[in-house]
Amino acid sequence: MIGQFLILNALVTFVAALPAIIPRASTCNGRAELCGRSYGNTTFLMSHDSYAISNNPVILSRNQAVDLTAQMNLGVRALQAQSHMKDGALHFCHTSCDLFDGGLVVNYLKTVKSFMDSHPNDVFTFLFTNPENASPKNVWAPLFEQAGLASLAYVPPHLPMKASEWPTLGQMIQSGKRLVVFMDYNSNTAEVPYILPEFDHIWEPPFNSIDSSFPCRVDRISGPLSSQDHMFMINHNLDVKVFPFRQAKREANPGFWDSITSAIGGAIEDTKNTIENGINQGKDTLSEVLIPDLIHLPITNGVPSILADSNGCAPFSGGKATSFVMLDFVDVGQGMKAVDILNGFR
């Protein structure tokens, strides 16, 4: 009897000393099949200017109509945002914080952290624009720490990583490192190893397209890897030219003006100063202003247009599908359906 007790006690002690067994995810980003898929060979839905949220049509500098949580509930797992300093703190703002202030970056990060906690089997991506060269170590990293995201961020074993070298979604989820962070400029992996240089890993075609066929070429890329060893994203955001109001003539684009006037009535005149102060996304001159083409948005965000854009860029990337489909107004169209098709699901 004493011998049996000693054996049982030893067994209990041995089992208690074993490391906890973490169950493997049965689904990854909503699909069992994606658990064995490399991150570098997976397509994600991305929200363009994910912080620039308003359902007010007068605010022409907006890019999304539903809040951050709603975007992620629609299937968005990659989030793009542009940063600017305001009153000594980092905000997400559209060109300038006077034009559109999306709030403090730390609050944005906390919202994503909360969503990630409720979706433990999903991999997420940030693509942050850093035009003012805010310090990764002194500005960005403390915000990731405050939000509780630094411990979830993936650090590659070497840099740069070929698209074929990334771990599977299942491996990333299993390790707990299921957030990938890219920054366009002034990343410093020696100081903050999880904020990765975007263009060493992802190439981009031109942005601010006003051509609905989205002609493709390798526009922004860096580092030693070929375009075929990079991932790539499609900037699937169709814009329309608007001239400053003092120069605009109705006959220049009657369809556009009729639809806008019908939608917001006389309030369009109230946006004159906002537009003439720099609503132009990516251009310095006021000889033309670019805003999202809301008229054709259902077509732009439709499956045929998205697939054609990805297919048009595929020859520059060894025939691979795009890794990121970046859209304005993700609640319009069939963005997630197109992403499923690009991932091989019909």
pLDDT at 281: 43
CA-angle at 264, arms to 262 and 270, nearest 5°: 130
**Residue 80: closest CA among 225, 183, 188:** 183
Indicate which residue of 48, 91, 230, 236 is catalytic.
48
pLDDT at 4: 52
Q: Is 48 a catalytic residue?
A: yes
Q: Is 94 a catalytic residue?
A: yes
Mean pLDDT (the chain) is 86
- CATH architecture of structural domain 39-238+294-343: Alpha-Beta Barrel (3.20)
pLDDT at 219: 96
0.95 exceeded by the pTM? no
Indicate which residue of 84, 94, 230, 236 is catalytic.
94
pLDDT at 57: 87
pLDDT at 165: 98
Round to whole Å and give the CA distance between 333 and 327: 10
pLDDT at 23: 55
Instruction: Please give the C-alpha separations between residue 329 and each of 71, 145, 236, 296, 336, in angstroms, as whole numbers.
Output: 9, 30, 11, 12, 12
Is residue 43 a contact partner of residue 342, using CB atoms and an 8 Å limit? yes
CB atoms within 10 A of CB 15: 8
Q: Which residues of the chain have pLDDT under 50?
A: 1, 5-8, 10-22, 244-252, 257, 261-287
pLDDT at 211: 95
Domain boundaries defined on the chain: 39-238+294-343
pLDDT at 220: 96
Round to whole Å and give the CA distance between 5 and 148: 45
